[in-house]
């Protein structure tokens, strides 16, 4: 999974910090120096209970990220549900096979964080796939039969072996950066070649 020459971003589609951090990295003028590898990491894989949107920790996290997003000119819509993301990650894996990963990856994030859609629902994901160039009639059976479920589980297990415990987490040349970093910390992480840093 991990290559020392690639910047690995462990993310989940319901996490606004993952969305904003990816945006910051891709927006850098020197972003081509940091080939970004997207690594799915479910916050709460089934059958764990869904996260309550009224949870104090989640609410504080959302408020903080909404403020950061506003400063970046990115509108967010407060979600009414924090769904399981297994199927969303499965769709992304299917999109990778179809060479449409970037479009579908971005569309899933936008659907949840900016449009308030329930990305835990297969019908929502099929419609999303269809709207972004995939064959909906082919996507639905893939999701119905859990074709990529094992791969999503294995990626999470491998991430845990690498020490990943939360999202977002960056791995870059043997170093780890957890959480949503301030600009100075992110700059230091991306330009330093040694050591271990956390915000």
Query: pLDDT for 4-57, tens place per residue?
Result: 579 999 999 999 999 999 999 999 988 888 889 999 999 999 999 999 999 999
Tokens of 136: 């909906």
For residue 48, count other CB atoms closer than 10 A to its CB: 10
Neighbours of 141 (CB within 10 A): 10
pTM over 0.85: yes
Helix axes 149-161, 86-97, angle to 10 degrees: 100
Q: Are 197 and 177 in contact (CB under 8 A)?
A: yes
Give pLDDT tens digits for 71-124. Answer: 999 999 999 999 999 999 999 999 999 999 999 999 999 999 999 999 999 999
Tokens 């999974």 -> residue: 1
Q: What domains are defined for the chain?
A: 7-191 (3.40.30.10)
């Amino acid at each position: 999974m991990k290559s020392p020459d690639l910047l690995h971003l462990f993310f989940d589609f319901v996490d606004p910090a993952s969305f904003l951090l990816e945006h910051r990295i891709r927006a850098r003028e020197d972003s081509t120096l940091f080939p970004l590898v997207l690594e799915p990491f479910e916050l709460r894989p089934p059958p764990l209970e869904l996260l309550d949107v009224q949870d104090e920790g989640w609410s504080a996290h959302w408020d903080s990220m909404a403020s950061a997003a506003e400063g970046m000119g990115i509108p967010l819509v407060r979600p009414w549900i924090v769904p399981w993301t297994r199927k969303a990650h499965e769709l992304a894996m299917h999109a990778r096979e179809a060479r449409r990963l970037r479009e579908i990856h971005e569309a899933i994030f936008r659907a949840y964080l900016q449009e308030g859609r329930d990305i835990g629902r297969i019908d929502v994901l099929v419609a999303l796939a269809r709207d972004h160039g995939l064959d909906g009639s082919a996507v639905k059976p893939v999701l119905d039969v859990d074709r990529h479920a094992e791969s999503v589980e294995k990626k999470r297990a491998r991430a845990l072996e690498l020490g990943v415990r939360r999202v977002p987490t960056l791995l870059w040349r043997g170093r780890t950066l957890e959480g949503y970093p301030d600009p100075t910390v992110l700059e230091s992480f991306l330009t330093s070649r040694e050591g271990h840093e956390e915000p």
